[in-house]
Amino acid sequence: MATDSQHLQSDVTGHIEDQPAVTLRAVGLGLCLIAALDLLALYVCYILHASLMTYSHVPMAMLIVLVVMLMVLALVSRYSGFMLSSREWHTILAMGLVGALIPSFGNMGYLIGYITAPYYFATEENAWDTHLHPHLPDWLIPSAEGNAVAWFYEGLPQGATIPWDVWVLPMFWWTTVMTAAFVMMACLAAIFRKQWVQNERLVFPAMSPLLDLVSQPGDGERSLPAFFYNRMFWIGFAIAFGMLAWNCINYFLPGFPRFPIYRSRWYWIDRQMPPIRGYLGIFTIFFAYFASLDVLFSIWFFDLIFILEGGWLSNLGYRAISPYYYRGVYAWQTRGAFVVLVVAMFWVSRRHLRDVVLKALGKDDRVDDRDELMSYRMALGGLVASLGYLYLWLVRMNFDPIQGFLLLIAVIFVYVGMAKIMADTGLPFTSVPFGAWGLVAPFYGNRGLTFSTQVAYRFSSLVTGHFKGLYMLGLSHSGRVAEGVAGQRRKLMGAIALAFIFSFLLCMFVTIGLGYSEGAYNFNRWEITRAAERHFQSTVNAIKKPDALPFYEKNPEEMVFFVLGGLLSAGLIYLRHRFVWWPLHPVGMAISGSYLARRTSFSIFATWLIKFVILKVGGPAVYRKSRPLFIGLLVGYILGVFLSVVLDSIWFPERGHWVHKYG
């Protein structure tokens, strides 16, 4: 049965849905969206020192600009006749999802921080000149001669100009490397799009509210987008926006009472067990609500298992908790579960992958790839070419050739697994138990890794070890958005590629320029001023102690728990496919005890409880009617964060308020 919003959408947009999707104006507005979100993210993070704009998998900077654009263009269409179809808005959204992957936490902040840290943070005490500098790939970092790097962190002296010449060579090579990584992940997203979107019909919960927004952009007769004309939407909007706007009063009157929506603390059941984090992350709830009940139940259920099992193992004398998060044997149990989950994902996709290969080789014309993001031949060829370039890059950095090859295979394994987990859960804050190097290095130990390989890995981690999956998750979600661009998906991929290049170059020049004008050390952000220093120091520590054994020799019980986690995950996968009623999804075990899973588990429990009650009491019909409520909550929250940013920029420059956090 169609919902009220669906009937409204049919009336509003039916007469314009025959328009093309990837138009010049849509691409132009997509680039405007990217420019605005990039500048907003960099300004808020580095100048205002306020909310996290790009930490989540659905970046707040993109959401703010997207919602404002929808409202402004709906108003413009009423008086000028300039009106975009929902298909064009799908193009803009897909471009925005990819463009938002670059600024700050996304990619560029870490990149600039890593290539400037080795010389600037070197001291006599840390002995980087002895253990690190001899192994540095000089063609990937700005020259150590002169004060170019020091000025970046401390600001230009009066009368000096930005020394762009020291950046040309390293940023050229990094641009080629990041482009190769983008091509690799774009090809993977194109290969898996049909399997996940059409064959498995994955939910992609993070895209559900956004697709509802762009599917009702306006009809040219009213001053707001169509989704605004729903009573449930306004109830949700008033709740979320009202709370954030109320809290903004506290900026001017410090004693004014606030809604405690940002407060959190750890609650201990027993000091021998991990605590429960009491925090209601409303941003997480807005997206998690669109996930399936079994996924939500499994995530908080296995967090409870972590508390009980982790505490029990700790009492037995095992290293299993930190005390808040997993470590030791429990971490390896979660890793085993993740590995088996991803192996099962590839196994389920085996027939589709076979069809892709046969079509690419011209041996099966029955496979239809005419409306995919790219032809399967181009996707497979691009994947091989990009992997070849990345392999040559690793070897050129003196990475061990065999270990470099294994690392790239692990990158595909981990990033595709991350994208699949995100497509199942939709959690805006989530991570996996380890990166690609975690599948390779532990089996060698420090003594099996050359010094040059360890230093080269630290630089390669910008591509191979990004905690958000670099570009893979954004591209796979763009594949879901591409369902609304049927018939023009090849053109959409071209627009997405343009979005990537534009955002990368813009963020590069703006970030470097801000560093010289403001002093990057004043940014006081993890990705630039602290991440590289800490990670390079850990590399130097490993170089100083090269005698560490592989994990299965040093701590054989970790191997036992790795296998145990894999077997338990395999059992969950079997039961889920064997019995329709089985309530536990293996994804819960595959992220159990990890940093972001622990910090969002209570929010997931609250979401599950709300949705469970709605479905049990009112049934699917009530759930469908509740969707506008949660979309209104999301839009209200987005505009509430934007209100805080505006107030900070006017009255509290350089000392903004952290309204939007992780969790």
Q: Is the dihedral of CA 628, 591, 423, 599 positive or negative?
A: positive
Task: Find the mean pLDDT for residues 110-121.
Answer: 95
**And the tokens for 250?**
């506290």
Question: Residue 517 carries which DSSP code?
Answer: I
Phi, psi (degrees; rounded to nearest 5) at 536: -65, -35
Kindly report whether the peptide bond that precedes residue 323 is cis, defined as omega within 30 degrees of 0: yes
pLDDT at residue 1, rounded to an integer: 37
What's the Rg (C-alpha) of the chain?
25
Query: Cβ contacts of residue 130 below 8 Å, gap of 6+?
Result: none
pLDDT at residue 225 above 50? yes
Residue 204 Ramachandran class (φ > 0 left, ψ -120 to 50 alpha, else beta): left
Higher-confidence residue of 105 and 168: namely 168
Residue 453 and residue 397: Cα distance in Å, rounded? 8
Question: What does the pLDDT look like over 449-494, one tens digit per residue?
Answer: 899 999 999 999 999 999 899 999 999 999 999 999 999 999 999 9
Q: Tell me how crowded residue 609 is: count the other CB atoms within 10 A of its CB.
A: 13
User: Three-state SS across 153-164?
Assistant: HHCCCCCCCCCC
Coil, strand or helix: which one is 219?
coil
Instruction: Give every CB contact of residue 158 below 8 A, 6+ residues apart in sequence.
Output: none
Which one-letter DSSP state was computed for residue 123? -
For residue range 331-378, what is the model confidence (pLDDT) as tens digits?
999 999 999 999 999 999 999 999 999 999 999 888 899 999 999 999
The CA distances from residue 621 to 65, 74, 212, 295, 505, in Å, are 32, 29, 17, 21, 47
Give me 64's structure tokens.
Answer: 């703010």
Owner of token pair 């909310």: 51
Does residue 431 surpass a pLDDT of 50?
A: yes
User: Phi and psi dihedrals of 622, rounded to 5?
Assistant: -65, -35
Could you report how far apart the first and last alpha carbons of the chain are, in Å? 35
User: How far is residue 86's CA from residue 216's CA, in Å, rounded to a whole number?
Assistant: 7
DSSP line for 556-576: HHHHHHHHHHHHHHHHHHHHH
Report the pLDDT value the prediction gives residue 663, as an integer from 0 to 100. Answer: 59
> Using an 8 Å Cβ cutoff, are 321 and 311 in contact?
yes
The torsion defined by the Cα of 465, 468, 473 and 474, in degrees rounded to 10, comes to -120
Res 251 pLDDT > 80: yes
pLDDT at res. 239: 96
Q: Which element (helix H / strand E) includes 308?
A: helix 293-315
User: Could you report the per-residue pLDDT of 127-178, keeping only the tens digit for each?
Assistant: 999 999 999 999 999 988 889 999 999 999 998 999 999 999 999 999 999 9
DSSP 528: I
Q: What is the 3-state secondary structure (H, E, C) of 39-91?
A: HHHHHHHHHHCCCCCCCCCCCHHHHHHHHHHHHHHHHHHHHHCCCCCHHHHHH
Task: Look at the alpha carbons of 532, 535, 540, 543 in this order and tell me if their dihedral is positive or negative.
Answer: negative
**Cα 436 to Cα 408: distance, rounded to the nearest angstrom:** 8
Q: How far apart are CA 217 and CA 225, in angstroms?
A: 5
Distance of CA 246 to the CA centre of its chain: 30
Average pLDDT over residues 373-384: 97
Output the pLDDT for position 15. Answer: 43
The answer, yes or no, to whether residue 41 has pLDDT greater than 80, is yes
Question: Whole-angstrom Cα distance, residue 92 to residue 361?
Answer: 33
Q: Which residues pair with 461 in a beta bridge?
A: none
Band (pLDDT 50/70/90 cuts) for residue 18 is low
Contact 225, 631 (CB under 8 A): no
pLDDT of residue 547: 67
Per-residue pLDDT, averaged over 305-312, amounts to: 95
Residues 225, 74: contact at Cβ < 8 Å?
yes
Beta bridge partners of 267: 276
The arithmetic mean of pLDDT across residues 421-433, rounded, is: 93
Contacts of residue 191, defined as CB under 8 A and 6 or more positions apart, other chains included, come to: 353, 356, 376, 379, 380, 383
For residue 462, with 0-12 CB atoms within 10 Å meaning exposed, 13-18 middle and 19 or more buried, which class applies? buried
Side-chain half-sphere exposure of 359, counting CA atoms within 13 A = 21
The amino acid at residue 239 is: I
Which helix or strand (DSSP H or E) is residue 499 part of? helix 489-514
Per-residue pLDDT tens digits for 255-287:
999 988 877 889 998 888 999 988 888 899 999
What pLDDT, on the 0 to 100 scale, is given for residue 614?
94
What does the chain come to in residues?
663
The total of other beta-carbon atoms located within 10 Å of residue 443's CB is 13
Question: Among candidates 77, 80, 78, 79, which has minimal Cα distance to 88?
Answer: 77
* Cα(489)–Cα(483) distance, integer angstroms: 8
pLDDT of residue 358: 95
- Read off the amino acid at residue 631: I
Contact predicate 416/195, CB 8 Å: no
Per DSSP bridges, beta strands 276-278 and 265-267 are: antiparallel
Tell me how many degrees the CA angle 475-477-478 measures, rounded to the nearest 5: 60
Look at the block and give the residue holding tokens 């630039």: 528
Burial letters 559-571, b for 16+ CB under 10 A, else e: bebbeebbebbbe
More confident residue, 507 or 654: 507
What tens digit of pLDDT does each residue of 548-586 get?
Answer: 777 777 788 999 999 999 999 999 999 999 998 999 999
Q: How far apart are CA 488 and CA 486, in angstroms?
A: 6
pLDDT by residue (tens digit) across 491-550? 999 999 999 999 999 999 999 999 999 999 999 888 998 999 999 999 999 888 876 777
- The token pair at 468 is 């958000």
CB 182 within 8 A of CB 384: no
Mean pLDDT (the chain) is 92
Number of neighbouring beta carbons within 10 Å of residue 142: 25
424 sits in which H/E element: helix 401-425
| CA 451/CA 455 separation, integer angstroms | 6
Q: Is 64 a residue whose pLDDT tops 90?
A: yes
